[in-house]
Amino acid sequence: MISDRILKQLLAADDPAAESRKPGRKPEQESVDHTTRPVLMERAAYLKQMARAGEGSANEILKEFPRHNIQLSVRLRSGIAELHEHFADLFIVLDGRATMVTGGIIVNPQSVGPGEVRGSVVADGARQELRAGDVAHIAAGTPHQILLAVDATFTAMVIKIEETS
């Protein structure tokens, strides 16, 4: 379970207005966002319905910031192989289980947009089981894939963080 305190810290971690909130400085505007676990799980229930009606997965951008965004993602089936050249993924698992495959190579890679590659599977990657409460960081440029067992579900908050070189 992710506590509200941790979530608040994560949401504020890349906050450019944080400097203005230091003692002795006058804040220009409120720049703290807060979402509770019950609200996230309510949104996840809706996304689960969307995933059932669609192709087995659904996601929603909860908030966009200058160099990152926060998404809620629900999977009812395994995902395709992915690589984001300019964005890291930070997964905070809220519910369910999955196997995360990272590294290796993407089989049948196809460019689907600037800096975005998709493929059928990640071959020769490292496998790590993810469970509720786990946090996983995938650096930009790293092939990755989320695999689910039959009848499994997986709900995660995903923070996409722009990485510049």
In angstroms, the CA 153 to CA 163 distance is 29
Task: Provide block-wise average pLDDT over 10 residues at a time, the chain (165 residues).
Answer: 52 51 48 89 97 96 96 97 98 98 98 97 98 98 97 97 86
* Cα atoms in the Cβ-side hemisphere of radius 13 Å centred on 116: 7
Q: Which residues on adjacent β-strands are paired with residue 72?
A: 60, 157
* pLDDT in the model for residue 27: 46
Cα 33 to the center of its chain, rounded Å = 17
Q: Two tokens at 83? A: 């690589």
Report pTM: 0.79
CA nearest neighbour of 148 among 124, 130, 122: 130
User: What are the angstrom distances between the C-alpha of 43 and each of 61, 94, 125, 127?
Assistant: 11, 12, 32, 29
Q: Two tokens at 109? A: 């890679």
In angstroms, the CA 161 to CA 153 distance is 25
* pLDDT in the model for residue 152: 95
* pLDDT in the model for residue 6: 52
* pLDDT in the model for residue 1: 46
Domain over 4-162 is classified CATH 3.40.980.10: no
- The domain segmentation of the chain, as residue ranges, is 4-162
